[in-house]
């Protein structure tokens, strides 16, 4: 956890309103906390994408706000089946997004083709065949909470990035990632 | 990708002035196309001279996939057709299978199917009204309508565990009986929903901006509605009094007292208002069905898991939120169908877009498309 996540405490301690931190921590903190989403809703999952951003689930509280224009967005949420006819349009929209950019594959269809994996002639088996996917969410469709969890996971992932090319930070992640979940006896994560 | 100029041709009008025709590509990723629709729009100034919808961006080959699956395995595929109203595709398909295999459905299952489908009609119309309102800039209406939809989704989740793809209606009945106190929650919802509908009527349909944006836009005559095969609220908005629940009554619908709301002008406003009034009628049907439903089995006794209907064919249709949804099945006597065909109302209604959009401005194209309420899972299949 970077010092910018505990701004209040840090200011209390230093007295003069000055905190010392690294550039990467500030940049990652600001990037991770306002991930505007490009809602690339192609099929059924788009309904849950809308539900996630509306009043019951309220995406805004995570700093994520759906914008239909790719030029405003940081993260593309591919929600739904990607067909061979639709793929060039998605690739073009991804190219129009400004760097740095991330991709969330929402739902089984975007992850692997899902129910259409075996015997459909027109479905691309997973959006990661042509886009660099950062977070996969399983489900047909996933619940809106899963999508919000994916945004939190992406935020955790962003804290390991550096603005120096090719460099990554080793950080203690709060959310479980692939396989390295370790729990205390009372259930708290290490 | 959203809006881009395709070409600009110099043409000469009838008075000899040089004017240019602008061809603009709307979609396939555009927030107002309600899915992955692309419309190639020819413009003279701001007036649409020609609008061609390009479909197929969500063609997943569901009809072909159905040929490789057993009859029960196809039910989850039908969920993904009309993803705003999954229960309808489930029911239409199951009715065709029951007709083909000669399965009798118990009465409680028929009542449960009517109840979930009327709830689904409210949910689908709320989505349609909300997104159509969102297109005209009324974001408040979208949020209010979506909140009502969310209440229904919660009830469905209690009933069958899924929020969107229910897989609830099965050949021979339904998958689960209702949980305890579910009907009480449902009746409380219909009571509150009526108040919300009145509020939406005042908030949106009484609003001067909404009236200005929707009145007189995309006028469809009754003759054109019948001639182009339109159905559902699109046809009823033009004054065509045609509702399969009433005029080709199926299941237990003859036992209910309800009206079929129709419009008179056939414009975007009448189509949207028809949907609002249908929600009132759906509330009436739900309340009557809950009062009439009796105890009994919710699944046909002894219906086999692996259906092998006799060789032959069957067609059945129901009134979905978008119109007449038909399913045609050909069986060759094996455990897999030889052919499954869906007659999708959204596809037939979308075909009206070139006719309706001509002569209106580009900003009205969005309103017209919203009033046709296409769902592209069902259009492209």
B271-307 exposure pattern, b = at least 16 Cβ within 10 A, e = fewer: bbbbbbbbbbbbbbbbbbbbeebeeeebbbeebeeeb
> Under an 8 A CB cutoff, do A42 and B83 touch?
no
In chain A, the number of structural domains is 1
On whether both B264 and B372 belong to a single domain, the answer is yes
Reported as a single tens digit per residue, the pLDDT across A107-155 is: 999 999 888 988 888 999 989 888 889 899 998 889 898 988 898 888 8
When the pLDDT of each residue in chain B is averaged and rounded to a whole number, the result is 87
Statement: residue A172 has pLDDT above 80: no
Residue A162 is assigned to a structural domain of this protein: no
**How many Cα atoms occupy the beta-carbon half-sphere of A173 within 13 Å?**
20
Statement: residue A180 has pLDDT above 50: no
On whether both B326 and B376 belong to a single domain, the answer is yes
The confidence band for B3, taking pLDDT boundaries of 50, 70 and 90, is low
> Under an 8 A CB cutoff, do A43 and B61 touch?
no
Residue A175 is assigned to a structural domain of this protein: no
On whether both B49 and B67 belong to a single domain, the answer is no
pLDDT value of residue B156: 92
Hey, CA dihedral for A21, A23, A26, A28, is it positive or negative?
negative
> Under an 8 A CB cutoff, do A56 and B150 touch?
yes
| Nearest chain A CA: its distance from B202 CA (Å) | 21
Please determine, for the modelled complex, whether the ipTM score is greater than 0.90: no
pTM (two decimals): 0.85
Mutate to test the interface with A, among B32, B36, B337 (most CBs of A within 10 A): B36
pLDDT value of residue A15: 62
pLDDT value of residue B285: 93
CB B186 within 8 A of CB B155: yes
B contacts of A44 (beta carbons < 8 Å)? 79-80, 83, 164-165, 377
Residue A18 is assigned to a structural domain of this protein: no
Comparing C-alpha atoms, which of B191, B175, B174, B194 is closest to residue B183? Answer: B191
CB B126 within 8 A of CB B359: no
Query: Of B13, B34, B54, at which residue does a domain stop?
Result: B54
Q: Identify the bridge partners of residue A109 per DSSP, sorted by sequence position.
A: none
pLDDT value of residue B115: 93
On whether both B178 and B289 belong to a single domain, the answer is yes
CATH of the domain at B269: 1.10.645.10
Statement: residue A183 has pLDDT above 60: no
Statement: residue A175 has pLDDT above 70: no
On whether both B27 and B87 belong to a single domain, the answer is no
B contacts of A80 (beta carbons < 8 Å)? 58
On whether both B43 and B113 belong to a single domain, the answer is no
On whether both B7 and B128 belong to a single domain, the answer is no
CATH of the domain at A130: 3.40.50.12280
By a Cβ cutoff of 8 Å, what residues of chain B touch chain A?
1-2, 28-31, 35-36, 56-61, 64-65, 68, 76-77, 79-80, 83-84, 127, 143, 146-147, 150, 153, 163-165, 376-377
Statement: residue A190 has pLDDT above 60: no
How large a percentage of chain B has pLDDT more than 70? 94
On whether both B129 and B13 belong to a single domain, the answer is no
pLDDT value of residue A14: 56
d(CA A13, CA B291): 67
On whether both B200 and B231 belong to a single domain, the answer is yes
Statement: residue B121 has pLDDT above 80: yes
Statement: residue A13 has pLDDT above 80: no
On whether both B182 and B306 belong to a single domain, the answer is yes
Q: Which of B1, B64, B80 sits opposite A92 (nearest CB)?
A: B1
d(CA B87, CA B208): 35
> Under an 8 A CB cutoff, do B60 and A40 touch?
no
Alpha-helix runs per DSSP H in B293-361: 345-350, 353-357
> Under an 8 A CB cutoff, do B83 and A92 touch?
no
Tokens at B235, concatenated: 């046809």
Reported as a single tens digit per residue, the pLDDT across B41-63 is: 888 888 888 888 898 888 988 99
Residue A25 is assigned to a structural domain of this protein: no
The confidence band for B315, taking pLDDT boundaries of 50, 70 and 90, is very high
Least confident of A14-23, A155-164, B112-121, B345-354: A14-23
B contacts of A81 (beta carbons < 8 Å)? 58, 60
On whether both B248 and B134 belong to a single domain, the answer is yes
Reported as a single tens digit per residue, the pLDDT across B194-223 is: 999 999 898 888 888 888 888 888 888 889
How large a percentage of chain B has pLDDT more than 90? 29
Statement: residue A12 has pLDDT above 80: no
When the pLDDT of each residue in chain A is averaged and rounded to a whole number, the result is 81
pLDDT value of residue A3: 62
SS3 A153: helix
B99-123 exposure pattern, b = at least 16 Cβ within 10 A, e = fewer: bbbebebbbbbbbbbbbbbbbbbbb
- Domain residue limits at B44: 3-54
Statement: residue A176 has pLDDT above 80: no
Q: Which of B31, B59, B163 sits opposite A122 (nearest CB)?
A: B59
Statement: residue A43 has pLDDT above 90: no
In chain B, the number of structural domains is 2
> Under an 8 A CB cutoff, do A44 and B163 touch?
no
Statement: residue A188 has pLDDT above 60: no
Comparing C-alpha atoms, which of B231, B180, B250 is closest to residue B351? Answer: B231
The confidence band for B111, taking pLDDT boundaries of 50, 70 and 90, is very high
CB B166 within 8 A of CB B93: no
pLDDT value of residue B155: 92
Query: Of B32, B54, B76, at which residue does a domain stop?
Result: B54
Comparing C-alpha atoms, which of B111, B119, B6 is closest to residue B52? Answer: B6
Residue A15 is assigned to a structural domain of this protein: no
Surface-to-core class of residue B139, CB atoms within 10 Å of its CB (0-12 exposed, 13-18 middle, 19+ buried)? exposed
On whether both B49 and B68 belong to a single domain, the answer is no
pLDDT value of residue B366: 87
Reported as a single tens digit per residue, the pLDDT across B158-167 is: 998 888 889 8
- Domain residue limits at A98: 36-157
């Amino acid at each position: 956890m970077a010092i910018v996540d505990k701004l209040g405490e840090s200011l209390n301690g230093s007295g003069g309103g000055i905190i010392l931190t690294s550039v990467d921590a500030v940049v990652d903190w600001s990037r991770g906390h306002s991930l505007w989403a490009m809602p690339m809703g192609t099929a059924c999952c788009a309904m849950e994408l809308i539900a996630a951003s509306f009043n019951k689930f309220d995406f805004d509280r995570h700093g994520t706000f759906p914008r239909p224009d790719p030029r405003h967005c940081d993260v593309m949420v591919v929600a739904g089946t990607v067909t061979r006819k639709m793929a060039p349009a998605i690739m073009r929209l991804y190219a129009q997004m400004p760097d740095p950019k991330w991709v969330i594959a929402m739902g089984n269809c975007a992850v692997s083709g899902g129910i259409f994996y075996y015997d459909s002639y027109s479905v691309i088996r997973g959006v990661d065949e042509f886009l660099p996917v950062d977070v996969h969410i399983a489900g047909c469709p996933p619940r809106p909470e899963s999508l919000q969890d994916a945004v939190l996971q992406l935020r955790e992932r962003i804290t390991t990035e550096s603005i120096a090319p090719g460099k990554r930070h080793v950080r203690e992640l709060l959310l479980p990632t692939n396989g390295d979940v370790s729990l205390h006896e009372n259930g708290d994560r290490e | 990708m959203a809006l881009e100029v395709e070409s600009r041709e110099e043409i000469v009008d009838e008075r000899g002035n040089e004017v240019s025709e602008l061809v603009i590509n709307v979609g396939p990723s555009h927030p107002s196309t309600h899915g992955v629709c692309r419309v190639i729009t020819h413009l003279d100034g701001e007036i649409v001279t020609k609008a061609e919808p390009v479909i197929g961006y969500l063609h997943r080959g569901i009809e072909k996939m159905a040929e490789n699956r057993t009859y029960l395995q196809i039910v989850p595929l039908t969920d993904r057709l009309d993803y705003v109203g999954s229960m309808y595709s489930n029911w239409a398909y199951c009715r065709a299978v029951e007709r083909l295999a000669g399965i009798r459905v118990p009465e409680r299952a028929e009542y449960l199917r009517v109840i979930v489908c009327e709830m689904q009609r409210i949910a689908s119309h709320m989505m349609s009204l909300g997104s159509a309102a969102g297109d005209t800039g009324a974001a408040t209406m979208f949020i209010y309508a979506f909140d009502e939809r969310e209440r229904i989704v919660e009830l469905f989740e209690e009933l069958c565990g899924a929020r969107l793809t229910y897989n609830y209606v099965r050949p021979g009945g339904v998958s689960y009986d209702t949980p305890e106190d579910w009907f009480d929650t449902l009746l409380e919802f219909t009571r509150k929903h009526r108040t919300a509908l009145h509020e939406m009527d005042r908030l949106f349909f009484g609003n001067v901006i909404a009236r200005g944006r929707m009145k007189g836009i995309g006028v469809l005559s009754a003759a054109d509605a019948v001639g182009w095969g339109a159905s559902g609220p699109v046809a009823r908005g033009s004054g065509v009094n045609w509702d399969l629940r009433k005029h080709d009554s199926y299941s237990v619908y003859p036992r209910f007292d309800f009206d079929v709301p129709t419009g008179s002008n056939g414009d975007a406003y009448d189509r949207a208002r028809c949907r609002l009034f249908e929600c009132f009628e759906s509330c009436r049907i739900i309340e009557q069905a809950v009062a009439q439903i009796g105890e009994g089995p919710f699944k046909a006794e002894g219906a086999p898991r692996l259906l092998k209907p006799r060789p032959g064919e069957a067609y059945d249709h129901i009134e979905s939120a978008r119109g007449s949804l038909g399913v045609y099945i050909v069986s060759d006597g094996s455990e897999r169908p030889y052919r499954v065909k869906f007659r999708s109302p959204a596809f037939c209604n979308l075909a009206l877009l070139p006719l309706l959009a001509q002569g209106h401005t580009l900003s009205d194209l969005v309103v017209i498309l919203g009033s046709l309420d296409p769902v592209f899972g069902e259009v492209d299949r």
